Amino acid sequence: MRQPKQQRAVETREGILHAAAELFDEMGYAGAGINRILERAGATAGSLYFHFDSKEGLARAVMNRQSERILPLLESQGLQRLVDITLLWSRQLQTDVVLRAGVRLTTEAGILGMGEAATPYAAWVQVMEDCLLAAGDRGELQAGVETAPLAEHLVATCTGMQLLSEAAGNDRADLPQRTQRMWQLLLPGIAVPATVVRLDLDPRRAEALEQSEPVSG
Amino acid sequence: MRQPKQQRAVETREGILHAAAELFDEMGYAGAGINRILERAGATAGSLYFHFDSKEGLARAVMNRQSERILPLLESQGLQRLVDITLLWSRQLQTDVVLRAGVRLTTEAGILGMGEAATPYAAWVQVMEDCLLAAGDRGELQAGVETAPLAEHLVATCTGMQLLSEAAGNDRADLPQRTQRMWQLLLPGIAVPATVVRLDLDPRRAEALEQSEPVSG
């Protein structure tokens, strides 16, 4: 039976995006040429330019995919949700090439001054601030905690942790422990005591979350 | 009067290092070609290879210069010294091209997998851990604070903060405020209460330090 046209278009788009992510992850933005991406994807230039207007557009699609690899797996709320986002991110960076490529491209965009550099950071900052606002509504934050600067701080810390973890040359195997430590250090200054003791920071949470089905809605 | 030979050699070496730093800062490791560095420095290939064995050696010299731009200016001790290192660093990144080039090269080394990638991070981790050990001896740290992981965490956070600050496109003008916020968030989880209230986190400290004379010894 032939697939419906729309289904095939989605698969072609995903195939190109995945091939591009593999090459961005391996060799960075500059190193991943269009021809190599087409070869890896087994796609034509026509189909690539039908779905993405340029290599930069393709890179932006990979970068914007980051939070979509994480958020649909989570059911927790407030600060625990924020903890879970970072634990899952720190684990999936080791296994999910699209996420890894997005992080590498975001870092390169920052230091190379690529257009729209701030956007992928801004998207993460927004995701984290939403969790912090919810945490505030739930009474989990100490009085006076400003959510926007704290969200910026968390994104900066996660960015730096994954860079140091990668530079250490162990394929980021220690990133979940670094993430757990970040929360151990930060929580006394931001969360109310009852929340500090209740939150589960164990990196093994991410393993269970990874195997869960996406939550609908 | 002719300069002594040794003095001229030092000046030539510094001139090449400074020209290389300018180009590494502007265009990164890959973009800064040896010929361009020689042109900028007004130096010969012979003198460059007399002082540095390769472009990678030159990059390593720039990276290793980072803490030398900061530490000689400081008189404070323990946690205040650590705070001052980060405040001064966050300010000097805006004005000191050698420091800025060192940070860019370190970040590139991390993501591009350049040889010896971990070294410049490790040097900063050591500087910070030394301060934390001194802080512990002075009774400034809470019981149970592990200095080595905390030093790693601080270097990671500083690395990420400067990347986000740079990506925001304001020439890192907000980096001192980000650094102050880092300490406000972290200190409740690491320092004893008497130290938390005593430490001066005001970014303007860095302005005074910048104008001070290097401390001998």
Asked if the model's pLDDT at residue A142 lies above 90, the reply is yes
What whole-number percentage of chain A has pLDDT above 70? 92
The helix/strand/coil state of A145 is: coil
Torsion over CA of A53, A54, A58 and A64, rounded to 10 degrees?
-70
Average pLDDT of every residue of chain B: 88
**Cβ separation of A163 and B149 shorter than 8 Å?**
no
In whole angstroms, give the CA distance from residue B110 to residue B104: 10
The ipTM estimated for the assembled molecules is 0.86
User: Do A185 and B153 count as a contact with CB atoms less than 8 A apart?
Assistant: yes
Q: How many residues does chain B have?
A: 217
Number of neighbouring beta carbons within 10 Å of residue A194: 10
Give the pLDDT confidence score for residue B113 in this predicted structure.
Answer: 57
Q: Write the pLDDT tens digit of every residue in A174-214.
A: 999 999 999 999 999 999 999 999 999 999 998 888 777 67
Domain ranges of chain B: 5-64, 67-210
Q: Do the Cβ atoms of B107 and A112 come within 8 Å?
A: no
Query: Looking at residues A3-32, what average pLDDT do you find?
Result: 90
- Kindly tell me if the per-residue pLDDT of A118 is higher than 60: no
Report chain A's mean pLDDT, rounded to a whole number. 88
| B182 in contact with A, Cβ within 8 Å | yes
Query: Which of the four CATH numbers 2.30.110.10, 1.10.3720.10, 1.10.10.10, 1.10.357.10 does domain A67-210 have?
Result: 1.10.357.10
Look at the domain A5-63 and name its fold. Answer: Arc Repressor Mutant, subunit A (1.10.10)
Write out the H or E segment, with its range, that includes residue B182: helix B175-190
Chain A residues 143-172 within an 8 A CB cutoff of chain B: 149-150, 152-153, 155-161, 163-164, 166-169
What top-level class would CATH report for the domain B5-64? mainly alpha
The tally of CA atoms less than 13 A away on the side-chain side of residue A116 is 11
Percent of chain B at pLDDT above 70?
A: 92
Q: Note the pLDDT of residue B117.
A: 47
Q: Are A166 and B110 an interchain contact pair (Cβ–Cβ within 8 Å)?
A: yes
The predicted pLDDT at position A3 comes to 67
Task: Please name the residue ranges forming H helices in chain A.
Answer: 5-31, 34-41, 45-51, 55-64, 78-92, 97-112, 118-137, 147-167, 175-190, 193-198, 205-210
Model pLDDT, residue B170: 78
> What is the tens place of the pLDDT at every residue in B175-196?
999 999 999 999 999 999 999 9
Chain B residue at shortest CA distance from A185: B189
pLDDT tens digits along B49-104? 999 988 988 998 998 888 888 888 889 999 999 999 999 999 999 889 999 998 88
